[in-house]
Structure 1
Amino acid sequence: MNKLVDLIDRDLVKQLIPQREPIVMVDALYEYTETTIKAGLTIAGNNLCVSNGVLREVGLIEHMAQSVALHTGYQFYLRQEPAPVGYIGSIKKIDINALPKVGDTIYTKVDILQEFMGVTLVELQTYINGVLIASGSMKTVLAKEE
């Protein structure tokens, strides 16, 4: 199922992820399939991870992880279920070539390599204006329901 969704409504995107302000690091969903997502963020000056007008590495990595969370959240949304809480399980490798500045819009393409029992293995690429600024792979883990 390939869906171009272009969710510009930040409020809807926020409903699809478990994170809340001030740590929300995605504000757009551009494309969704069962195994991919393209998620975006326009860097605001008041972003918690901005320093000296630049989104720091931790913010970029959190954006990448929240892009994965948005994929999961959208899956649950399509089934009319609440978004689950998840965590970064491990980061295998992240290469950062450039950091976005306030006003830049970044987007991350997530490729789901494997999902099994709440653990998701992904490859990630983050871009500004079509230029690759970061890439890597990580595992995310859904929290167990109590």
Structure 2
Amino acid sequence: MNNDSLNIPVTNLIPQKAPFVMVDKLLHYTDSEVTSCLTISDANIFTKNNTFTEPGLIEHMAQTVALHTGYKYHLLDKPSPTGYIGSIKSVEILILPQLNDTLETTASILHEVMGVTLVAINVKLNGKSIATSEMKTVVAK
């Protein structure tokens, strides 16, 4: 991925639109991994009392996976597909981020077949892991 690719607005790579966008930027992409970031703002629909809530973290993780799929489709010059969380095998949230915190989230593709992707996700704040998950996402047909 070259530096020009990093400047593509994430809203061109994921199907979600404001106010439901939970990723700010694509930081890193390979066939098997993606890293996104999100800075928590008071305008975010999942921010309550200056804290980013559990559902927001889970949606942020899922949208990081969507960013991987969307960028892959972008490279093929195709529109980003709609996807869904098929299942969540595990979620562990150690710390809830606060207003103005910036999350850096990496999704590692464990297995991908016929539009179903199994991923391991790690959310970091200031270099420290604050949440992990393993989920399956499904691309709509």
Aligned AA (2:89):
K
Q: CA deviation at 1:136?
A: 1.3
Match of 1:37 in 2: 34
Match of 1:131 in 2: 128
What does the per-residue CA deviation read over 1:90-110, in whole Å, with 9 as the maximum and x for residues that have no partner?
Answer: 000000000111101001111
Match of 1:113 in 2: 110
Question: Does structure 2 retain, via aligned residues, the 8 Å contact 1:127–1:134?
Answer: yes
Q: Of the candidates 81, 91, 94, which is equivalent to residue 91 of structure 2?
A: 94
* TM-score, scaled to structure 1: 0.92
Match of 1:25 in 2: 22
* TM-score, scaled to structure 2: 0.96
Match of 1:7 in 2: 6
What does the per-residue CA deviation read over 1:94-133, in whole Å, with 9 as the maximum and x for residues that have no partner?
Answer: 0000011110100111100111000000000000110100
Percent sequence identity over aligned pairs: 50
Between the aligned partners of 1:4 and 1:25, the Cα distance in structure 2 is 23
Question: Does structure 2 retain, via aligned residues, the 8 Å contact 1:42–1:105?
Answer: yes
Q: What is the SS of the residue equivalent to 2:133?
A: strand
Match of 1:67 in 2: 64
Aligned AA (1:36):
E
Between the aligned partners of 1:94 and 1:62, the Cα distance in structure 2 is 12
Q: Any stretches of 5+ residues in structure 2 without a counterpart?
A: none
How many residues matched? 140
RMSD between superposed Cα atoms in Å: 1.2
Aligned AA (1:96):
I
Q: What is the SS of the residue equivalent to 2:58?
A: helix
Q: What is the SS of the residue equivalent to 2:45?
A: coil
What does the per-residue CA deviation read over 1:21-80, in whole Å, with 9 as the maximum and x for residues that have no partner?
Answer: 111000111110000000110111110000000000000000000000000000000111
Between the aligned partners of 1:65 and 1:53, the Cα distance in structure 2 is 22
Q: Of the candidates 130, 140, 143, which is equivalent to residue 137 of structure 2?
A: 140
Does residue 1:83 correspond to 2:80, yes or no? Answer: yes
Q: What is the SS of the residue equivalent to 2:79?
A: coil
Between the aligned partners of 2:49 and 2:106, the Cα distance in structure 1 is 26
Q: CA deviation at 1:4?
A: 6.1
Between the aligned partners of 1:104 and 1:7, the Cα distance in structure 2 is 21
